[in-house]
Amino acid sequence: MAKQGVVKLLEVVEALRNEVIKRFNEMERGLEERASKKELAKLLELNYNLTVAVALGYYLLILAKNPNPTLYEFEKELAELLRIWKKVMDQSRELFGVVDWSIIQDGSSAILKAARSIGLPFGTVAGLVMEVMEADAEKFLSEASIAEIYGTINLTRWRRLINK
């Protein structure tokens, strides 16, 4: 009789154990599904911001070639574009743990070309980049692009600004 009680108790414990394992597995699958959906949403947001950054970069190039460009409007749009690039860098870091600086510097090269084309002084561009990008400013602008677009004197100014 005692053996039957122990066997029955073991069966009940085994059934409870199986139920707990089953529920843990269901909860784990639910968490994985939610986590992957959250990551997918973040990836879509990164893609959106990257697309906006590229489109706004082309807009600045077009604005710079406008026969009646205004530096005020250009500078305002440039600041917005820099904020979007900063979001792209932060989101990339959050999702992947790294930033692909070659993509970022391609975008910043287009910014420099548009700014130079409209006649915006390098000091203004550098100041906006430093303000918005903070610690990422040094990597945001490529030294080769600065030298090619604004010249070696401005590259030297840039190096002094970033304490290099």
Give yes or no for a contact between 128 and 141, defined as CB atoms under 8 angstroms apart: no
Residues 12, 64: contact at Cβ < 8 Å?
no
Q: In whole angstroms, what is the distance from residue 16 CA to residue 39 CA?
A: 34
Question: Do the Cβ atoms of 133 and 97 come closer than 8 Å?
Answer: no
Mean pLDDT, residues 123-144: 95
pTM (two decimals): 0.75
> Residue 158: CB partners within 8 Å, gap ≥ 6?
122, 126, 141, 143, 146
DSSP readout, the chain? -HHHHHHHHHHHHHHHHHHHHHHHHHHHHHHHHHHHHHHHHHHHHHHHHHHHHHHHHHHHHHHHHSSS--HHHHHHHHHHHHHHHHHHHHHHHHHHSS--HHHHHHHHHHHHHHHHHHT--HHHHHHHHHHHHGGGHHHHS-HHHHHHHH-HHHHHHHHHHTT-
Residue 7: per-residue pLDDT? 65
Is a pLDDT exceeding 80 seen at residue 144? yes
Model confidence at 5, in pLDDT bands (50, 70, 90)? low
Mean of all residue pLDDT scores within the chain? 86
Q: Looking at the predicted structure, is the pLDDT value of residue 1 above 60?
A: no
Confidence grade of residue 85 (pLDDT, cut at 50, 70, 90): very high
Per residue in 25-84, pLDDT (tens digit) is 777 776 666 667 788 888 889 889 989 998 888 888 888 888 776 888 889 999 999 999
